[in-house]
Amino acid sequence: MFQVRRSAQECLEKVFKSFRSSSVVKEASKLVFSLFKNYMPVALTLSESRIFDESKEETLSKLEHLEVIHMLNLLKVTVPYLSVKISSKVLPELVKLLRSDFSVLTRQIFQNIEAFFVSSSDEVIGPQQENIIDSLSGYLSLGQKNPVDTVLSAATLLRTILNKLRAGGSSSWTSNGHKIFGSTAGLLLDMFIGSLLTVLVFFFFVIVADLLIAYYIRYPDTCLY
């Protein structure tokens, strides 16, 4: 079943890549958004339930759970090809699924948001940027309460966002860098007693510090506060 769905994702990506007409892209984007919206009520329920909350887990069938994950996987491969109008509708819906603690959809949500930051314009990302940074910083701040791989994904995604802000010359990257710097420092303190995660997040902490230092060397009269 996994192989079949993987093949379906690859075929869908090839189809979207082949589109040359803006009107075709527009109609295809509408279909993707319609599918996504149909699954949003179930996705919201899944995102609000803790992974070990059996009472909530049992309100959704295993099939529904897998269908939502499959839908998010399909969405991820189409993100680079969606129209600006539809992208601007999809991203706010994804942000609604972000939580500071882990859910069964966390990995797929992170992957989709990363796809938006890699491929979408500021017109799409800008209105949701602060909400995304706040949510990811909150996820980092919980430290060991969330799975190690997802904490690393959140840290990597935050780094991607900071790099995009810096490359675009946005003045908000310093204030956001300060915010991320603080949540990463808290995570390091929380996980101080040796682990691989501590080492990896430390490197991310150093990268953020380097970005801030570079900014203040260039603009010495600015202040974070």
Give the pLDDT confidence of 83-117 residue by residue, as tens digits. Answer: 999 999 999 999 999 998 899 899 999 999 999 99
pLDDT tens string 178-196: 566 656 655 555 554 445 5
Question: pTM score, two decimals?
Answer: 0.75
User: What token pair was written down for 203?
Assistant: 């490197």
Name the token pair of 180: 């991320």
Q: What is the pLDDT of residues 191-222, one digit of tens each?
A: 544 455 555 666 666 666 666 676 666 666 65
Dihedral-angle region of residue 83 (phi above 0 means left; psi in -120 to 50 means alpha; beta otherwise): beta
Confidence of residue 39 (pLDDT cuts 50, 70, 90): very high
Higher pLDDT among residues 82 and 197, named by residue: 82
- pLDDT score of 56: 47
Q: How many residues does the chain have?
A: 225
pLDDT of 53 higher than 90: no
* Residue 59: predicted pLDDT: 43
- H-assigned helices in 82-223: 84-96, 106-119, 122-125, 129-141, 148-167, 172-190, 196-218
Calpha distance 181→212 (Å, rounded): 9
Q: What span, in angstroms and rounded, lies between the C-alpha atoms of 79 and 98?
A: 18
Which of the residue ranges 80-94, 128-142, 161-175 would you say has the lowest mean pLDDT?
161-175
Distance CA 74, CA 93 (A): 15
Domain boundaries, the chain: 1-101, 121-225
Within a 10 A sphere around the Cβ of 182, how many other Cβ atoms? Answer: 14
